[in-house]
Chains A and B, each alone.
Chain A
Amino acid sequence: MALERSQKEVWKLTPWLLIVLLLANFILMAYDARAENEERVIRVWTQAAANFIQSPVTTIGSAVTGYINYLTNLRSAQSENDKLKQKIQELEVAVQESKELTVENRRLKSLLELKTDSEIKIIPAQVIGRDTSVWFNAAIVNRGSLDGVKLNMPIVVNGGLVGRVTAVSPLTAQIDLITRDKSGLGAIVGELGSSNALGVVKGTGDKDVLEMHYVPGYETVKVGDVVYTTGQGGVYPPGLKLGEVIEVRTGSATVPHQIFIKPSANLYSMQEVAILLYTPPPRPKYEEALPNAVNEEEKSESLKEKK
């Protein structure tokens, strides 16, 4: 009898508990949706805890995969060896040429009194985890705030830009890929300084395609052209390779081109990446405060000049 009563109490309590838990989850979601570019405590600490499990599993997994690949590759080793020997000879010639170019470059720089090369530091990182939800494609790397990683730092691989850091725990960091439809960055078709085809590259949600908007229709853009970052937007440094143009829906004088780009980085089988310890230059205060806000100081100065 007593057991029956307690069961009834449970049945009465359940809907209330459901409402409380659903509400708590909804508040978490709403907070997370708003604070997308800020530190998120629960995410950070869960990642830190998960790192102790993910790291050994990834190490063992990659060791097994590596051994299998090694056995598979033994078959084609001889022909590959011959090809590599030939390539070494070609590379030796290329290295010699590049040495000459470096010397020439230094000489020209000193003539122009330019400062030294980019001082962006790079730290290598291993991908230790993939997104737990099938609906997304974030990745987790084994470098965190203890290594100097901060929010929004760019991630690159040999091929080009991969994405940016979206959450940082002491030992790990979560990265979001550029193909996600929420990402957007300033880019240029062709090299900076030699092209005017500036625009904004956005993810399409499609795994292998990026879309470039706002490139004026009178600019010449061809399939196969290379797209680089411009540094606009304040997250990515200029000059990082994004990919190649695979399709152009030509615009007109008043209608911009619609350009589709294939990312040059292999985003879905990457094992190792590099994190650029890049801090964007500080933005003016009025830009941080409100979108499209007018800088009163500049405005008053320009008025004075006019007067």
Chain B
Amino acid sequence: MENLKITIALIVAIVLQWTLRNVAEPFAYVDLPLIIVVYAALQRNSIKALFFGTFAGIAVDALSGGLLGANGFSKTLVAFVISEIARRVYLDNLLLRIPVIASACLLDDLVYFGMHRLLGQNLYNPLIITMAYTLIGTTIAGTFIYLFLDSFSSSSLRRRKKDYFAPRRQTRRRNPIRLGRK
């Protein structure tokens, strides 16, 4: 069920990425497929995340003026890095996910830019400004999308999260007056 949810979310994200820029230019600064790839990587299933990264990247590249495979390369790498971090560090908290999506966005942009430069291609927009806008747009959109996706979490996932954070056992307060007595 969880897999199906993320697959549907990824397809919707790709379709929106194809169409939204035509509706309004600022939507170009929101990398929707990256948000879903990072979400998949956070589920600690690295193989699925890697395939999602490649698929989403190539789908985006196919309708772009850039090199085919550049987004696939960067998103696959991002998926691997995030899933490895998520395997070692607990990242199910929404507040922790905000810096994760922000750094994923930065890494994705840098790798994408670097691969184009490596193959002798110049990009249309300046690096720093584009990265800054994409960082802001993707992080804000990502936070809301994660909230939305988490609200559809399956019961097993909720149970797993509950297990990670079992309620703290309340220790009985001991009477300090009694402690002094023999």
Contacts and interface: CB of A to CB of B under 8 A. Distances in A.
Given A21-B50, A61-B23, A205-B124, A129 B63 contact: yes
A91 interface: no
B47 interface: yes
Given A21-B50, A22-B73, A137 B124 contact: yes
A213 interface: no
B171 to A, nearest CB: 33
Given A25-B57, A43-B63, A128-B22, 20 more contacts: A13-B47, A14-B80, A21-B51, A22-B76, A24-B54, A26-B73, A28-B68, A28-B69, A29-B68, A42-B68, A46-B58, A58-B19, A129-B63, A130-B21, A131-B28, A131-B63, A132-B17, A133-B66, A134-B29, A180-B65
A232 B15 CA distance: 40
Interface stretch (A49-57, A72-80, A146-154): A49-57
- In order of increasing CB-CB distance, the 6 nearest A-B pairs are A28-B69, A46-B62, A138-B65, A136-B65, A25-B73, A133-B64
B115 A29 contact: yes
Interface of B: 15, 17-19, 21-23, 25, 28-29, 31, 45-47, 50-51, 53-54, 57-73, 76-77, 80, 83-84, 87, 112-113, 115-116, 119-125, 130, 133-134
Contacts of A140: 63
Contacts of B45: 10
B29 A57 contact: no
Given A14-B47, A54-B22, A205-B122, A26 B63 contact: no
B30 to A, nearest CB: 9
A30 B119 contact: yes
Contacts of B17: 132
Q: Which of B19, B71, B119, B133 is packed against the most chain A CB atoms within 10 Å? A: B19
Nearest to A44: B62
Contacts, number: 162
Contacts of A205: 122-124
A29 B71 CA distance: 10
B91 to A, nearest CB: 17
Contact of B18 (A10, A13, A54, A174): A54
A237 B123 CA distance: 27
Given A14-B46, A25-B54, A25-B73, A133 B61 contact: yes
B119 A57 contact: no
A244 interface: no
Interface SS of B by simple majority: helix
A17 interface: yes
B130 A17 contact: no
A46 B63 contact: yes
A47 B46 contact: no
A26 B62 contact: no
Contact of A57 (B23, B25, B71): B23
A166 B65 contact: yes
Given A13-B47, A57-B22, A135 B113 contact: yes
B22 A25 contact: no
Contacts of B134: 134
A143 to B, nearest CB: 16
Q: Which of B17, B61, B113, B124 is packed against the most chain A CB atoms within 10 Å? A: B124
18 contacts: A14-B47, A18-B77, A28-B58, A33-B121, A47-B62, A50-B18, A50-B62, A53-B19, A129-B21, A131-B63, A132-B17, A133-B64, A133-B65, A135-B130, A174-B65, A176-B65, A182-B122, A205-B123
A104 interface: no
A32 interface: yes
Nearest to A140: B63
Contact of B21 (A14, A46, A131, A181): A131
B16 to A, nearest CB: 9
A121 B56 CA distance: 38
Contacts of A10: 45-47
A134 B22 contact: no
B135 to A, nearest CB: 11
Contacts of A128: 22
B18 A53 contact: yes
